[in-house]
Structure 1
């Protein structure tokens, strides 16, 4: 009943928007007369302009991205005029805000957009395509969030481009959105892409169409074959939740752009996802590309419908902060890779390498040791593709919520299986039915409630969240993984380690001290590392270890190769304050790896094999 009500409500909203659109819709026309130099010309028409000064904004954040991004820097030639073509005064009152004080009932605005960065956040325009993430493209009218919007991609035929988007097709080259939030969540690819599609019958008896559009240097047969691979992943994801979302217009679209000069990215949206790859083509890279597809498609449940309350509605004027990204992104990270195993594209040994990354992140990084998952989630306002000119201490105060949350998901999955005869799928399905399907935004406390519901143990849920979500305790991964016949062990047991991060050869510090271009300059070391404990910091130049001259990065490995954990050696390094010497305690390399019992020379029991098979086998019936 509730499902029918929501569907009817959405239909009424769409009908209402369409009824008003003829006189109330804000209209955009986007053309590309100078595509070869990465420019678009954008014309905006505002009918029934509200009284008083109009404020026009370029966004500073983008749906699916959490740090601040200054999209206004790529907009210029901003002009305004009345319906009869008379110029109106436009005042720039902030870097990304323009004001029109005096105007009539209809206002026309035009501007030039420069776009030369193809990823999920920005926009890229050249002779081959226009890759448009709308917050990086669209100037919008403050206070008009609920007005319908029409966009005419007027000259795509001139460029021989097709149009791929989740926007509703009105006619010809005109597409629409019911409101600003939907428009900003609708990336669009204009290019001579190749396409394949298929229908998936949902549990409600209706079919949802899945479109795969790829702009790349591939043959159609490659795209068709890759589409079959993506379809396999889609069905595994459907099995987790028991159903597909009901997509607003009955379609979901993968927008993929593949080219070596791309920035590389994946960005989820309500009825589509924008994937940007840096390969030469799809052919030969299919399995590698599937990782991003699996992750982003899982977001059509988790994030776009199972929605953190802190991100609803999304504010485009500043960075949007959330405590829940360990779940929104981290659990999605876990499932994206798990589902490639269930789909048959990765084997258990390959999956062990993936799990090693998660466990190392939560057990071997200062950020995870010192701060809870909720705090790491909040740091997304600085770390999610944010640009910092000055150095940061992220090496010691941040662990990505993708891996932090992924490791928590791994532990919870294994604990639900071993302690409750349940699975993480059961938990995700509960959250979907309780929160996502009915579009009820959640908080951390809500997720705890749902875990208590599915386990029938509010006590377990409270303890789990207190220790591992809002606290900094860690699960016993060695014991949990053993239940599936997997061994957690040191990757380089007994090997010497001083914990140097990747070094910069040469640099200004080496030059200042007249040491020559070969001397390695340190970047920020982990506080867990021996070099950090010895006083070496970013910008320092190591000149001697164990009495031996260091004149290039490779020398360091040679010097410590025959040492043992527990050995002490001397170290000499230069900084702005002068030359320093001290003692460096060699430690054992803390890096962990996860391998099967079989690979470790052990024989898994029948119970361990059954546990592993139940966890990693296909769930598609």
Structure 2
């Protein structure tokens, strides 16, 4: 019996590790944004084989119909003879019979270069793997190799986190999950490199692969700023992750021919900014955010995203932490690195607080609930009108506002910091790569603070619930004042109008004067307070003559019916954060120390 088991185990081992998936990519019609893809599968069981395109992509949570850009799908046996292949769904193809080795060829169209989609052009090639490459169901663990057949007249280089081989055009991945997480840029790239040492003495290589019209000097200066950011982010956790092949790559396209996006990956990030390259600090925000993700979400990873399912949307309860805390740190670390002023940082934090305290979604729903809605809003496509202004707030600023409040509370109440909490998460979930849950996040907060009651109360009120924070006294500790920027000014509500007209084009928002009076999108405001209006400016001029609490009449048209409503004006809720100057007599030494500890560099 033992001998039989051993023989079966050897056969299974040999069979499994003989499986291999090889991709070959060529660009015979590059001028019209097409690529030819050839997949050769060897060592798979004889019989039926199912090939499919993905419907989701790492770092995105909604579905994306990548299969729509695939056509001319054909299958061949190991001798190159055609065999049947049938399209059984929009993005699924089936070979009913094969003998263990087969090849599938197809054409893919790509003309939307960003973090989710791909772009194929005579000037450069920009590939997000799920949007281009079919895969074989049931063979997620099979090793993968891919060869890029670059046009011979090009002197292009390849930027990717795929593992290089002796052939500069061939790369490998250990399996499907890693392969799908490997964005690739091919073109005339500016390359800059540097190294970072961890406390254990190990060095890791960092690369900037930049597609931009710029000089080598300016690209080098920009890379120096990114290096500063990397060091500042390393200081939060005490170390950078142990990258799989010892290298992290910033793949960046900063030119007018891409679509704006930033997408984190395990050992790289794909950044596309549709503007001329200047090398200025304003370009660095997306770098700060995406690089923080190589700890927070790539390794400190929600259990709801493990493993990532490429066939459907991926709902998560924790995006308020994975994306929202990253949003907070992206802004904070730019300031710590000396790349963002305190005034600009407070402008960013003002937006976080406004989202948390004044948007309908955050007032009505918990950050967990809005995180779950990412399957519809994360670059998802819908043509029908939604009620998002009244039931959804982005988990980016919502979660960022929670991070801001928690950081200031830890500093005030416990003489701890959010850095301490993130480091604890890194040690428990990131280095070990054990996926976390919301209750586990609460446990770590209790461990860090040594206060289970505080942790339970915080999660009950602000994570599982949606209570308000009192930010003013927290900010005051750092010599920052939170005020209403339009205190005493009358306000109709958050509303958009058609251009140069008084037809409401957006949903009116619950709790605002217009909403309470019964007006909504497509209603046309005819008169306010007995005065005719023809433009939004007319409305604003009349409202400016009133004060909060005034009751005015609004005449409007709903479809073809003239209506009259009584409307009670509210106070404008817009906020501002102002920093006390060093010369201000009310700026104390305690405030100065608190601000430095919070916003100052952590690089030793």
Tell me how far apart the structure 1 counterparts of residues 27 and 203 of structure 2 sit (CA, whole Å): 36
Aligned to 1:478: 472
Matches within 5 A, 1:484-503: 484-503=478-497
2: CA distance, partners of 1:22 / 1:411: 51
| Residue 346 of structure 1 pairs with residue 329 of structure 2 | no
Residue 94 of structure 2 corresponds to: 99
User: For residue 11 of structure 2, what is the aligned residue in structure 1?
Assistant: none
Alignment counterpart, residue 117 of structure 2, candidates 97, 113, 122 = 122
1:237 is aligned to 2:233: yes
Helix, strand or coil at the partner of 2:74? strand
Distance in 2 (alpha carbons) for counterparts of 1:453 and 1:223: 44
Query: Does residue 1:189 correspond to 2:172, yes or no?
Result: no
Which among 65, 72, 76 is matched to residue 70 of structure 1? Answer: 65
Q: CA deviation at 1:588?
A: 1.1
Task: Decide which of 518, 530, 541 is 1:535's aligned counterpart.
Answer: 518
CA contact (8 A) 2:478 2:594 kept: yes
Instruction: State the 1:157 CA deviation.
Output: 4.2
- Matching residue of 2:599: 616
Q: Does 1:548 align with 2:556?
A: no
Give yes or no for contact 2:496–2:504 (8 Å, CA) kept in 1: no
Runs of 4+ off more than 6 Å: 19-22, 599-602
Q: Does structure 2 conserve the Cα–Cα contact (< 8 Å) formed by 1:505 and 1:521?
A: no
SS in 2 for 1:573: strand
Q: TM-score, normalised by structure 1?
A: 0.93
Taking structure 1 as reference, are residues 325 and 602 closer, same or farther at Cα in structure 2, changes over 3 Å only?
A: farther
**2:263 is aligned with 1:267:** yes
* Alignment check: 8 A CA contact 2:23 2:37 kept: yes
Deviation at 1:521, TM superposition (A): 3.5
Partner of 1:581: 564
User: CA offsets, 1:30-56, max 9 Å, x none?
Assistant: 111111211111111111232332111
* Aligned-partner Cα distance in 2 for 1:261–1:146: 36
The one-character-per-residue Cα deviations of 1:227-277 (angstroms, maximum 9, x if unpaired) are 000000000000000001000000000000112242200100000000010
CA distance in 1, matches of 2:582, 2:88: 65
Q: CA deviation at 1:314?
A: 0.3
2:10 corresponding residue in structure 1: none
1:300-332 superposed Cα distances (whole Å, 9 cap, x missing partner): 100000010110110000000111101000000
Aligned-partner Cα distance in 2 for 1:503–1:346: 34
Q: CA deviation at 1:21?
A: 10
SS of residue in 1 equivalent to 2:130: helix
Q: Aligned pair in 2 of structure 1 residues 148, 158: CA closer, same or farther (>3 Å)?
A: farther
Tell me the CA shift for residue 160 of structure 1.
2.7
Higher mean C-alpha deviation, range 259-268 or range 132-141: 259-268
C-alpha deviation, 1:343, in angstroms = 0.4
d(CA) in 2 for partners of 1:172, 1:156: 14
Query: Residues 233-312 of structure 1: matches in 2 within 5 Å?
Result: 233-281=229-277, 283=278, 285-312=279-306
Whole-angstrom distance in 2 between the partners of 1:60 and 1:82: 27
SS at match of 1:520: coil
Deviation at 1:575, TM superposition (A): 2.2
**1:437 pairs with one of 431, 439, 454:** 431
- Which whole-Å CA distance do the structure 2 matches of 1:395 and 1:500 have between them? 9
1:39-82 CA deviation, whole Å, 9 max, x = no partner? 11111111123233211110111000011111111111111111
| Structure-1 residue corresponding to 2:37 | 42
CA distance 1:600–1:70, shift in 2 (3 Å): farther
| 3-state secondary structure, aligned to 1:102 | strand
Out of 64, 80, 88, the position equivalent to 1:85 is 80
Q: In structure 1, which of residues 562, 567, 585 is the aligned counterpart of residue 545 of structure 2? A: 562
TM superposition score normalised by structure 2: 0.95
Judged with a 3 Å threshold, the aligned counterparts in structure 2 of structure 1 residues 519 and 616 are, in CA distance, closer, same or farther, namely closer
Deviations 1:81-103 (A, max 9, x none): 11212211111111111111012
Q: CA deviation at 1:364?
A: 0.3
Aligned residues: 591
Aligned to 2:448: 454
**Aligned-partner Cα distance in 1 for 2:47–2:522:** 54
Q: Distance in 2 between matches of 1:598 and 1:206?
A: 42
Q: Return closer, same or farther for 1:469/1:591 CA change in 2, 3 Å cut-off.
A: same
> Paired residue for 1:160?
155
Q: Which residues of 2 match residues 327-476 of structure 1 at below 5 A?
A: 327-476=321-470
Secondary structure of 2:149's match?
coil
Residues in 1 aligned to 2:446 and 2:467: alpha-carbon distance in whole angstroms: 19
Deviation at 1:23, TM superposition (A): 4.5
**CA shift for structure 1 position 600:** 12
Query: 1:216 maps to what in 2?
Result: 212
SS in 2 for 1:296: helix
Q: 8 Å contact 2:504–2:520 — kept in the other structure? A: no
CA spacing shift, 1:342–1:500, aligned 2, 3 Å:
closer
- How far did residue 125 of structure 1 move? 1.2
Q: Deviations over 1:201-227 (max 9, x none)?
A: 111211000000110111111110000
Q: 1:104-151 CA deviation, whole Å, 9 max, x = no partner?
A: 221110111111111100101111111000010110000000001111
RMSD over equivalenced CA pairs, Å: 1.8
Mean Cα deviation higher: 304-313 or 526-535: 526-535
Compared with structure 1, are the counterparts of its residues 547 and 500 closer, same or farther at alpha carbon in structure 2 (3 Å cutoff)? Answer: farther
The DSSP-based 3-state class of the residue aligned with 2:71 is strand
Select between 493-502 and 453-462 the one with higher mean Cα deviation: 493-502
For structure 1, which runs of at least 5 residues remain unmatched after alignment? 1-18, 507-517
Alpha-carbon distance in structure 1 between the residues aligned to 2:15 and 2:285: 42
> Alignment partner of 2:47: what SS?
coil
Secondary structure class of the residue paired with 1:72: helix
Distance 1:588 1:599, change over 3 A: farther
Q: In the alignment, which residue of structure 2 is the partner of 1:4?
A: none
Match of 1:205 among 201, 207, 210: 201
1:316 aligns to what? 310
1 CA distance for matches of 2:368 and 2:496? 29
Give a deviation string over 1:522-560, Cα, whole Å, max 9, x none: 311211321111111112222222222222232222222
